[in-house]
C-alpha cells in the first residue's frame, strides 16, 4: 500500500498543474481506483476547507491516513512535494532557457482549459452523489433526489457566489442544519 | 535570528493561518520577509509567486522553495518548504483521525451528510470563476467541454486528459513557431 501511495501521489504531483483544484480531479480518479467512496471524497473536500494549508498537502495527508495510517500520510505527503523540490533547483540553474520557452507556455494554457472541464466534472460527480444518491451516470436507475441535501447545496452555492460568504461558515452551518434534521 | 529560522517561521505561520491554500498566504509572507526583515524584494517575491503557478505540484510549496532558495540556498529552501508543509500535514492528520472515530449514526451522520452537500457548491463556484478567466475563445470551450464529458461518462481518466492537453499545447506552439518563420 505504501509503495502504491508513493507512486499515486508522485503522479498527482507531476500532473497537477494549476494547484489544488486541478489535483482534485486526479485525486477523485485515484480514490475510485483505490475503492474509496464518493462520501469519503466529499468529506475530504469539507476537511480541505476547514483545515488550513494547501489543498494538495491536505488531500495527500488525508488519503494516506485513511488508507494506511501514519506511515501512509507521511509517504503520500512527501511524494506530492517532490515536483517542487526537484523543479525549483533545476529552474534556478536553467532560468533563461525555461523562461523563454514558448512550448511550455502553450502547454500550460491548454492544461488550464482542460482543468476547467475537469473541475466541473468533479463538482458534477459530487452533486450526483450528495443530492441524487448515485456515484456516477452508469447508476442512473437508482437516481433519487434528496431534498434537504439539494437545498443545502443550492443555498451554499448561492450564498457563496452572490454574497461572498466564507465557505468555512457555510460548511459549519450545513453541519448544524444536518445535525438538527436528525431530530426533526 | 538566522535566515533559515526566519524562513521556517514565516512559512509555518503563513501555512497555519491561510485556508484552502495557494496564494492566500502571500500577504503574510510579504509583510514578514519584505517589510519587517527586508531579506527579499517585493518584486522578486511576486515574480516567484507568478512563476510558481506555472509549475506542476503544490503552488504554495513551490513558492516557498523559490523564496527559500533565493534567500539562503539549499538549506533555506528546505527550511521554507518544511514550514509551508508542516501545519497542513499535522493538522490534517489529526483531523482525519478524529473524522475516522466519528460514529456513523445518529445526528453525526446527518450532520456529515449536510456538510458533504456543500462540497459541490464551492467547486461549482471555483469552476465558474476559472471558466470566466480561462475560457476566452471557442477552441478553449471545446477543450473544456470535451474534458468534462469524457470524465463524467468515465470514458477517459483525468491523468490521460491532462497529458492530452499538454500534447495539444505542444502542437499549437509548434504550429505558431512555424508560422512565425
List per-residue pLDDT tens for chain A, 184 residues long.
899 999 999 999 999 887 777 788 899 989 988 889 888 999 998 888 888 888 899 999 999 999 999 999 999 999 999 999 998 988 888 776 666 777 888 888 888 888 889 889 888 988 988 888 787 777 777 788 888 889 999 999 999 888 888 888 898 899 899 999 888 7
What's the pLDDT tens digit per position in B149-159? 998 888 888 88
Q: Are residues B44 and B8 in the same domain?
A: yes
Query: What is the Cα–Cα distance from A43 to A48, expressed in whole angstroms?
Result: 8
What's the pLDDT tens digit per position in B71-124? 998 999 999 999 999 999 999 999 999 988 888 788 888 888 888 888 888 889
Query: Which residues of chain A are within 8 Å of residue B17 when distances are taken between CB atoms?
Result: 52
For the stretch A139-148, contacts whose Cβ atoms lie closer than 8 Å and that sit 24 or more positions apart, written own/partner, are A148/A177, A148/A178, A148/A181, A148/B114, A148/B117
Place of cell 470551450: B141
For the stretch B38-42, contacts whose Cβ atoms lie closer than 8 Å and that sit 24 or more positions apart, written own/partner, are B39/B3, B39/B6, B39/B71, B40/B67, B40/B70, B40/B71
Closest residue in A to B141 (Cα–Cα): A113
Query: What is the Cα–Cα distance from A50 to A58, expressed in whole angstroms?
Result: 10
A98 vs B: CB within 8 A: no
If one counts the domains in chain B, the total is 2
How many other C-beta atoms can be found within 10 angstroms of the C-beta atom of residue B87?
A: 22
B128 vs A: CB within 8 A: yes
Q: Are residues B132 and B157 in the same domain?
A: yes
| Cβ pair A84, B62 in contact under 8 A | yes
Who wins on pLDDT, A136 or B130?
A: B130
Domain ranges of chain A: 2-145
Mutant choice from A57, A97, A158 vs B, greatest count of B C-beta within 10 A: A57
| Cβ pair B110, A175 in contact under 8 A | no
Residue B79: give the domain boundaries.
3-100
Q: Which three cell numbers stand for residue B6?
A: 526566519
pLDDT at B19 over 80: no
pLDDT at residue B134, as a whole number:
84
pLDDT at B24 over 80: no
| Cβ pair B18, A58 in contact under 8 A | no
Contact assignment for B96 to A61 by CB distance below 8 Å: yes
B178 vs A: CB within 8 A: no
Domain boundary among B79, B100, B121: B100
Q: Which three cell numbers stand for residue B63?
A: 513558492
Task: Tell me which residue in A87, A109, A126 faces B55 most closely, judged by beta carbons.
Answer: A87
DSSP collapsed to 3 states, chain B:
CCHHHHHHHHHHHHHHHCECCHHHHHHHHHHHHHHHCCCCCHHHHHHHHHHHCCCECCHHHHHHHHHHHHHHHHHHHHHHHHHHHHHHHHHHHHHHHHHHHCCCCHHHHHHHHHHHHHHHHHHHHHHHHHHHHHCCCHHHHHHHHHHHHHHHCCCCCHHHHHHHHHHHHHHHHHHHHHHHC
Q: Are residues B51 and B90 in the same domain?
A: yes
Q: Are residues B131 and B112 in the same domain?
A: yes
The rounded percent of chain B whose pLDDT value lies above 90 is 28
Q: Are residues B118 and B76 in the same domain?
A: no
Query: What is the Cα–Cα distance from B133 to A105, expressed in whole angstroms?
Result: 16
pLDDT at B22 over 70: no
Please work out, in degrees rounded to the nearest 5, the angle formed at the alpha carbon of residue A180 by the alpha carbons of B18 and A49: 15
Q: Tell me which residues of chain B, numbers 137 to 176, contact chain A at a CB-CB cutoff of 8 Å.
A: 140, 143-149, 151-154, 157-159, 161-166, 168-170, 172-174, 176
Q: What is the DSSP letter of A154?
A: H
ipTM: 0.85
| Cβ pair B177, A102 in contact under 8 A | yes
Contact assignment for B53 to A18 by CB distance below 8 Å: yes
Domain boundary among B42, B76, B100: B100
- What is the rounded average pLDDT for all residues in chain B? 87
Task: Tell me which residue in B58, B119, B135 faces A126 most closely, judged by beta carbons.
Answer: B119
B54 vs A: CB within 8 A: yes
B21 vs A: CB within 8 A: yes
For A143, the 3-state DSSP assignment is coil
Domain boundary among B67, B100, B133: B100
H or E, element range at A113: helix A102-131
| Cβ pair B162, A114 in contact under 8 A | yes
Amino acid at each position: 500500500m505504501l509503495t502504491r501511495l508513493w507512486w499515486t501521489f508522485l503522479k498527482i504531483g507531476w500532473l497537477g498543474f494549476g494547484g489544488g483544484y486541478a489535483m482534485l480531479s486526479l485525486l477523485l480518479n485515484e480514490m475510485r481506483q483505490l475503492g474509496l467512496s464518493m462520501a469519503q471524497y466529499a468529506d475530504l473536500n469539507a476537511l480541505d476547507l476547514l483545515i488550513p494549508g494547501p489543498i494538495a498537502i491536505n488531500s495527500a495527508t488525508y488519503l494516506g491516513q485513511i488508507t494506511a495510517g501514519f506511515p501512509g500520510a507521511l509517504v503520500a505527503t512527501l511524494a506530492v512535494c517532490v515536483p517542487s523540490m526537484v523543479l525549483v533547483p533545476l529552474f534556478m540553474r536553467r532560468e533563461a532557457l525555461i523562461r523563454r520557452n514558448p512550448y511550455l507556455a502553450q502547454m500550460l494554457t491548454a492544461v488550464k482549459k482542460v482543468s476547467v472541464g475537469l473541475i466541473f466534472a468533479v463538482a458534477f460527480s459530487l452533486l450526483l452523489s450528495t443530492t441524487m444518491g448515485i456515484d456516477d451516470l452508469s447508476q442512473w436507475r437508482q437516481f433519487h433526489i434528496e431534498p434537504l441535501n439539494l437545498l443545502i447545496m443550492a443555498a451554499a452555492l448561492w450564498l457563496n457566489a452572490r454574497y461572498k460568504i466564507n465557505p468555512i461558515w457555510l460548511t459549519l452551518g450545513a453541519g448544524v442544519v444536518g445535525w438538527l434534521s436528525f431530530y426533526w | 535570528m538566522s535566515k533559515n529560522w526566519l524562513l521556517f517561521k514565516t512559512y509555518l505561520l503563513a501555512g497555519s493561518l491561510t485556508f484552502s491554500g495557494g496564494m492566500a498566504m502571500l500577504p503574510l509572507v510579504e509583510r514578514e520577509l519584505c517589510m519587517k526583515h527586508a531579506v527579499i524584494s517585493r518584486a522578486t517575491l511576486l515574480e516567484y509567486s507568478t512563476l510558481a503557478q506555472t509549475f506542476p505540484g503544490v503552488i504554495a510549496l513551490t513558492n516557498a522553495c523559490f523564496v527559500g532558495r533565493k534567500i539562503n540556498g539549499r538549506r533555506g529552501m528546505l527550511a521554507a518548504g518544511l514550514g509551508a508543509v508542516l501545519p497542513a500535514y499535522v493538522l490534517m492528520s489529526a483531523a482525519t483521525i478524529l473524522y475516522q472515530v466519528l460514529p456513523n449514526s445518529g445526528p453525526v451522520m446527518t450532520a456529515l451528510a449536510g456538510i458533504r452537500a456543500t462540497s459541490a457548491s464551492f467547486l461549482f463556484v471555483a469552476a465558474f470563476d476559472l471558466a470566466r478567466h480561462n475560457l476566452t475563445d471557442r477552441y478553449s470551450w471545446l477543450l473544456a467541454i470535451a474534458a468534462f464529458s469524457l470524465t463524467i461518462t468515465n470514458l477517459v481518466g483525468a491523468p490521460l486528459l491532462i497529458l492530452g492537453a499538454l500534447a495539444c499545447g505542444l502542437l499549437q506552439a509548434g504550429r505558431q513557431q512555424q508560422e512565425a518563420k
